[in-house]
Amino acid sequence: MAVEWEQVIVDAADPIALGRWWQRALGWVVVDQDDEIIEIRPAPDRKPGLLFVPSSEPKTGKNRLHIDLRPDDRDAEVERFLSLGARRADVGQTGEESWVVLADPEGNEFCILGSAH
């Protein structure tokens, strides 16, 4: 049996705004959008994508699933994400980690991992 990973669904208070934020942050392209949803991918023919859909429920705790990003330069990417509107997030890290935890404008945590070698 074959399966293909199509996308990750992200519930959002404002899916269009959050999807556009991630599009800018990742440098991805919009492959689908209407008044309520937006899907972005690395390129039109590359998967998986991120599909942002409306949710009326507020975020109440730490995400059970999050994105890890591996940059060439961790510190430069952290600063770039912060300049785009991300904020630092505390999920119980000790300070000894090689990654930095950030949150997007709606509070979804993600990690900027240590620089690639």
Rounded Cα distance between 45 and 28, Å, is 11
Grade residue 117 by pLDDT with cuts at 50, 70 and 90.
Answer: low
Domain that holds residue 48: 7-58
Domain count, the chain: 2
**At 43, which amino acid appears?**
A
Same domain, 74 and 94: yes
Same domain, 21 and 69: no
Encoding tokens for residue 11? Answer: 């519930």
pLDDT, tens only, 41-68: 999 999 999 999 999 888 888 888 899 9
| The pLDDT of residue 103 | 96
Same domain, 70 and 105: yes
Domain boundary among 58, 78, 98: 58
Q: Are 4 and 40 in contact (CB under 8 A)?
A: no
| The pLDDT of residue 55 | 94
Q: What is the DSSP letter of 36?
A: S
Residue 116 pLDDT > 80: no
Quick check: is 1 in a domain?
A: no
Quick check: is 2 in a domain?
A: no
